[in-house]
Amino acid sequence: MPVKVMIPSPLRPYAGKRDSAEFNARTVGEALGHLTTQFGELRKHLFTEEGKLRSFVNVYVNDEDIRYLAKENTPTKDGDTISIIPSIAGGCRPLYGSSIFYQTTNDRPRD
Amino acid sequence: MVEAAALWISGHLAEKIRAHGAETYPHECCGALLGRDSNAVLLGDPGEGSSTAAREILQLFPLVNRRDDSPRNRFSVTAEDVMAAEKAARDQGLDVVGWYHSHPDHPARPSEYDRDHAWPWYSYIIVSVQNGAPQDMTSWRLNDDRAEFSPEGIEIRHRAAV
């Protein structure tokens, strides 16, 4: 029995509208590799250009966050479920110190 | 094909988002938008070769801003909160279709930080709160290439027609 990868709603348009996919994989990294090989458009939303998992992408094996296991080297076994869970973040302060989004005196970014 | 997006929300829920922003001022508020996409084709002529996709917000799932260090200009939602919002949506036969947050004393426009942390497909509602009073409310969707957001028209409806 292969490993099941659960695909979150925002990524389903890039995965043929599927909510899950199954692969034979020995590690989380291998499963995600198969996933992004099959659905190439997913790659930029899951990984940085350097090939690292984006910081706001959480990956769980069953109920365990892989950050507290062996990260992408976390071993998987048949029947495991890998869940991709979005972290949601934002805020009004500009990331790079730009004031482009601020037009009034009161709109100056705060540090 | 050009695709314009529209977000349908009741006046009651829109007011709840604005009230949440006022309540947490000067800190940012945040929450999940529960709803569903509509297959309906909207009336009007958005242009040749284009279509309009509609999304309806039917419930809110207010959350606590987990950013203790800079809650005035940042918000974050933990994976556990995301899973709780998704469960709440599933229990009602809905999806988490987006997120809302406030910009205290800033315009209702996404920042670079918003863009850098955004996901595609989700609707991101931003309400500007100036001196404690909610002002403009806008909605945005991240483009496929992650380079920028596209504005999404908010349509206040008395009752959904999905």
Does A86 contact B67 at a Cβ distance shorter than 8 Å? no
Of A44, B113, B162, A25, give the one whose Cα is nearest residue A5.
A25
Does B79 contact A58 at a Cβ distance shorter than 8 Å? yes
Does B109 contact A101 at a Cβ distance shorter than 8 Å? yes
The CATH code of domain B2-157 reads 3.40.140.10
DSSP B94: -
Give pTM, 2 decimals.
0.82
| CB within 8 Å of A13: residues ≥ 6 apart | B120, B121
| Residue A51, domain CATH | 3.10.20.30
- Amino acid at the residue B128: S
Q: Is A109 contained in some domain?
A: no
- Domain span including residue A30: 3-86
DSSP-based three-state secondary structure for A98: coil
pLDDT tens, per residue, chain B with 162 residues: 345 579 999 999 999 999 999 999 999 999 999 999 986 555 444 444 445 568 999 999 999 888 877 888 888 888 889 999 999 999 999 999 999 999 999 999 998 888 888 999 999 999 999 999 999 999 999 998 888 999 999 999 876 444
Q: Is A106 contained in some domain?
A: no
Is the ipTM beyond the 0.90 threshold?
Answer: no
Round to whole Å and give the CA distance between B31 and B102: 10
Q: Is A101 contained in some domain?
A: no
The number of folded domains in chain A is: 1
The residue of A56, A66, A88, A107 whose CB has the most chain B CBs within 10 angstroms, and thus the best one to mutate to test that interface, is: A88
Q: Is A95 contained in some domain?
A: no
**Does A18 contact B at CB distance below 8 Å?**
no
